[in-house]
């Protein structure tokens, strides 16, 4: 009898412990939620906020509609220092003024990326974009030397070669009426990042049907959709009722490709440690991957292949889409503004004359007006239209208390349109970025590459690539835009893209 009683008591005790743990977790979550709710109550908020659901049901699921919705909210609350909204039980403060943005980005405490970045972890792991704390600091310190200007100069040859291929492709479109240039420029950027990051030619410009090329775009779309639909945030819901299977299938293609490239490259490096070894009679080019395979920390430890894959996947994701979008927006703006178009071509004439030689580092320094054009394009159409941080300790933003655990989302698209620092903000004026016109502008009023400790490590690489590609196009063609600004309809996914591409006509220069 005692044995039977004891046997019955064990499962009863287990159930009781389980229920107690469940009650405790529910209590902690509920108390945390209510604490944030009351702490943040004074912050201006959207109407129609419901307990536990927040504003989730108000958001559009279509990427373009969602972006315009966020844009409308910031316009509606333009006089408010910040805006609050809830996505399920998670609070977000929306920042779009230089002084409020600075409070977050200049404080090293708030260095962690927001919860929405967790959906990038299966693809990018915890590399430079998504890691936090000690790992991020150590990784950033290790990787910074690989972006030294002298090393970036080695990549100019690749950029020039791929720009020449792009020009050859565009010549077939010259004089033949309107066409969408978006994919042409994007595939060129993808070829550049593949060869410079991995030392691998994928010939995207001549083979846009590549499985890897398609998978990069597909994965970006999948992640972006999940970020906008909080009911798919829990993994078990996403895997059974969402796009979990499609996500994993696409992920397998991406990881297999970079895994194989890393192991092939590692074997070649182990075969020879000499950078002067020839490959079919030509000097072997360095790639980021080669440097990562040789990089060591302060203790002399090399990065594991898993660590390297995180960074290579990150470079591939962040290193082509952002620059491609920026170049496309710049092409549209130049094609819409003949005066700026003429000034760029005049500058190119002064630097290159009638020569068709490759672009070198000295040329890049002289292309000052083209750089202003790129910066103004990034102001109007920042490649990353918004990004988010986690508030890691209680703080005050413009007098409002924001508790630890909330998220701060910086809307660069709206920030860059502050009329205090950019008068007539919708006008395209590259001259805004001439040195004499930039005096007194707050450093946090313009953030195309973020700011603070987590600013973009690859921004010099990006500007170099954009100058090379845009200069190559404008040395060979006159560009005319076929769309008005209101027809572009920007889509704010992970990258800011035009809904239906960039349509232009080209005329061959003689």
* Residue 10, in any domain of the structure: no
**Cβ–Cβ < 8 Å for 413, 496:** yes
Judged against a pLDDT cut of 70, whether residue 278 lies above it is answered with no
* Residue 78, in any domain of the structure: yes
Domain around 473: 51-508
DSSP-assigned states of every residue in 433-446? GSHHHHTT--GGG-
Average pLDDT estimate for 158-172:
96
Q: What is the pTM of this model?
A: 0.89
> The domain spanning residue 393 has which CATH number?
1.10.630.10
Residue pLDDT, tens place only, 67-78 = 888 889 999 998
Backbone φ and ψ of 126, nearest 5°: -115, 65
Strands, E assignment, 427-500:
477-481, 490-492, 496-498
Give me the pLDDT at residue 272, please: 56
- Angle (CA) 461-223-383 rounded to 5° is 35
* Residue 21, in any domain of the structure: no
* Residue 8, in any domain of the structure: no
DSSP-assigned states of every residue in 206-272? T-TT-HHHHHHHHHHHHHHHHHH-GGG-SHHHHHHHSSHHHHHHHHHHHHHHHHHHHHHHHHHHHH-
Judged against a pLDDT cut of 90, whether residue 463 lies above it is answered with yes
* Residue 2, in any domain of the structure: no
Average pLDDT estimate for 1-29:
64
456 annotated ligand-binding residue = yes
* Residue 17, in any domain of the structure: no
* Residue 352, in any domain of the structure: yes
Residue pLDDT, tens place only, 251-268 = 999 999 888 888 888 887
CA–CA dist 342, 334 (Å, integer)? 9
The residues facing 409 across adjacent strands are 94, 388
Residue pLDDT, tens place only, 129-140 = 888 888 888 888
**Most confident range, picked from 256-265, 315-324, 389-398:** 389-398
The residues facing 95 across adjacent strands are 410
417 vs 139 pLDDT, higher one: 417
Give me the pLDDT at residue 95, please: 95
Number of structural domains in the chain: 1
**Cβ–Cβ < 8 Å for 210, 204:** yes
The token duo for 24 is 């405790």
CA–CA dist 322, 281 (Å, integer)? 34
* Residue 366, in any domain of the structure: yes
């Amino acid at each position: 009898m005692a044995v039977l009683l004891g046997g019955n008591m064990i499962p009863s005790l287990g159930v009781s412990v389980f229920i107690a743990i469940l009650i405790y977790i529910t209590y902690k979550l509920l108390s945390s939620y209510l604490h944030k709710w009351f702490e943040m109550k004074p912050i201006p908020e959207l109407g129609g906020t419901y307990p536990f659901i927040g504003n989730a049901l108000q958001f559009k699921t279509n990427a373009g509609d969602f972006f315009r919705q966020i844009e409308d909210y910031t316009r509606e609350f333009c006089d408010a220092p910040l805006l609050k909204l809830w996505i399920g039980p998670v609070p977000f403060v929306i920042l779009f003024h230089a002084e409020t943005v600075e409070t977050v980005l200049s404080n090293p405490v708030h260095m962690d990326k927001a919860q929405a970045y967790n959906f990038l972890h299966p693809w990018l792991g915890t590399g430079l974009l998504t890691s936090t704390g000690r790992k991020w600091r150590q990784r950033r310190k290790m990787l910074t030397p690989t972006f030294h200007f002298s090393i970036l100069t080695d990549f100019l040859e690749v950029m020039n070669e791929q720009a020449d291929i792009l020009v050859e492709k565009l010549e077939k479109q010259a004089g033949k009426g309107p066409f969408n240039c978006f994919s042409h420029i994007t595939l060129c950027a993808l070829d550049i990042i593949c060869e410079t990051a991995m030392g691998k030619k994928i010939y995207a410009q001549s083979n846009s049907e590549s499985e890897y090329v398609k998978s990069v775009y597909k994965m970006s779309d999948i992640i972006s959709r999940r970020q906008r639909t909080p009911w798919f945030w829990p993994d078990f819901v996403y895997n059974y009722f969402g796009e979990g299977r499609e996500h994993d299938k696409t992920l397998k293609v991406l990881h297999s490709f970079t895994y194989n490239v890393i192991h092939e490259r590692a074997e070649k490096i182990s075969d020879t440690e000499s950078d002067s070894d020839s490959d079919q009679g030509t000097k072997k080019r360095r790639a980021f991957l080669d440097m990562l395979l040789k990089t060591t920390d302060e203790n002399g430890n090399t990065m594991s292949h898993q660590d390297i894959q995180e960074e290579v996947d990150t470079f591939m994701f962040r290193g082509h889409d952002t620059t491609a979008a920026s170049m496309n927006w710049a092409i549209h703006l130049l094609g819409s503004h003949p005066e700026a178009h003429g000034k760029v071509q005049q500058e190119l004439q002064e630097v290159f004359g009638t020569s068709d030689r490759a672009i070198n580092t000295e040329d890049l320094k002289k292309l000052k007006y083209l750089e202003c054009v790129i910066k103004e394009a990034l102001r109007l159409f920042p490649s990353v239209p918004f990004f988010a941080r986690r508030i890691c300790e209680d703080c005050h933003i413009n007098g409002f208390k924001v508790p630890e655990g909330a998220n701060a989302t910086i809307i660069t698209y709206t920030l860059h349109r502050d009329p205090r620092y950019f008068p007539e903000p919708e006008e395209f004026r590259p001259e805004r970025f001439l040195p004499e016109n930039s005096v007194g502008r707050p450093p946090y009023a313009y953030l195309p590459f973020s700011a603070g400790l987590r600013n973009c490590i690859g921004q010099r690489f990006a500007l170099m690539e954009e100058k090379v590609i845009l200069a190559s196009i404008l040395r060979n063609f006159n560009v005319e835009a076929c769309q008005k600004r209101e027809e572009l309809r920007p889509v704010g996914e992970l990258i800011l893209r035009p809904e239906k591409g960039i349509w232009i006509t080209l005329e061959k220069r003689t």
